[in-house]
Structure formats: C-alpha cells, structure tokens
Amino acid sequence: MTSSHEDRAIGKDHRSIAPVYGGYYWYPTPGPDGVQWSLLTCEDLGFASDQGHPDLWPAVIDRLAVTWGKNATALRRHLKDYYSALPRGRVTRPDRYLILHGDDAPVADWLTVVIRSFRLQRVRYRVVFDEHERRLPDDCRRLQGALGILIPAPTCRDSTPKR
C-alpha cells in the first residue's frame, strides 16, 4: 500500500525500472487542507543527473508560476537566486547510492517517497544528512512572500537540526 505522497511522486509513466540519481525538490501545490507536497526529481524536470539545484531551479520556478497562478517572468526575476527556497536533496552514486538530505522534508514518509521516486528499492543505499541541502531561511521567506503562502515548520526554520 502506498501513501498519497508516494502516488504523486511516482507518477504513472516512469521511463524505466532502473535506479536513477540526481537532484530533487519537494514541490508545493495548493490543496483543500493547505499546501500539499510531492517530490519533483531532475528526471521529472527533464534534466540529467549531474545538474545542480541552481540548474534545476528555473524550471521549478516556471512550474510554481503555473501552479500558483503567478506571472512567470516576474516570479523568475524575484526568485532566480533563491534556489534554496524549497526543501531539496540529492541522490548520488559514488560507489553505492547516497540519499543526501537537509532534514527538512515536509512529509513524514519522505524517505519512502525518495526511495520509490528514484527506484532504489532493490539497491544498497545510505541516508546522509547534508547541511548544504537545507533550506536557507531568507530564501524560504522570499518564496513565501512571492507565492503568498505560509510554509509551516519544520520546512522553513532558522534553527540547526537536531541529530
């Protein structure tokens, strides 16, 4: 049985069953009970696994504009340098898969969603906290102001995570 977060993250038309790696963002959409979150991978955005978050960010901004009914040009101008505004992470593969995260995912079952979205169920992986994957508070506030939404803690916090 999968959660609704997993269903949204997996999609119906994944291109292969082989594991993939690369950057990802947690993506907010308006829902009946507030903000709903899904996982948006580099593959979903049409980017190669070696592309960094600054490379993915313009495509994420364009999707945000459509989703939230904002002017894409104005939103790009307002958010272009704030690629740490959404929770994010990266799956890498130096010798085995690593799931790098900032410990600020907006859903409780985040790891399950990442594993399924990157098709890591049958491979060895390690989960690693990486402070460089954390949201930056100024970026978060900028995004909240631009979209006119409140993104609840812990996804937009100033404190260092407890380990």
pLDDT in tens, 51-84: 999 999 999 999 999 999 999 999 999 999 999 9
Q: Which two tokens stand for residue 67?
A: 């989703």
Burial of 106 (0-12, 13-18, 19+ CB in 10 A): buried
Per the CB < 8 A criterion, the answer to whether 114 and 99 are in contact is yes
- pLDDT at residue 13 above 60? no
CA–CA separation, 10 and 139 (whole Å): 27
Strand order in the sheet with 88-92: 34-41, 22-31, 88-92, 97-101, 125-129
Per the CB < 8 A criterion, the answer to whether 51 and 94 are in contact is no
* Domain locations in the chain as residue ranges: 4-146
pLDDT in tens, 145-157: 999 887 765 566 5
Task: Check residue 34 and give its pLDDT.
Answer: 85
- pLDDT at residue 50 above 80? yes
CA–CA separation, 124 and 108 (whole Å): 22
Task: Check residue 149 and give its pLDDT.
Answer: 83
Helices assigned H by DSSP within the chain: 4-10, 42-45, 53-68, 72-79, 110-117, 137-147
Task: Check residue 150 and give its pLDDT.
Answer: 78
Per the CB < 8 A criterion, the answer to whether 28 and 70 are in contact is no
CA distances to 58, 137, 142 from 68, rounded to whole Å, are: 15, 21, 15
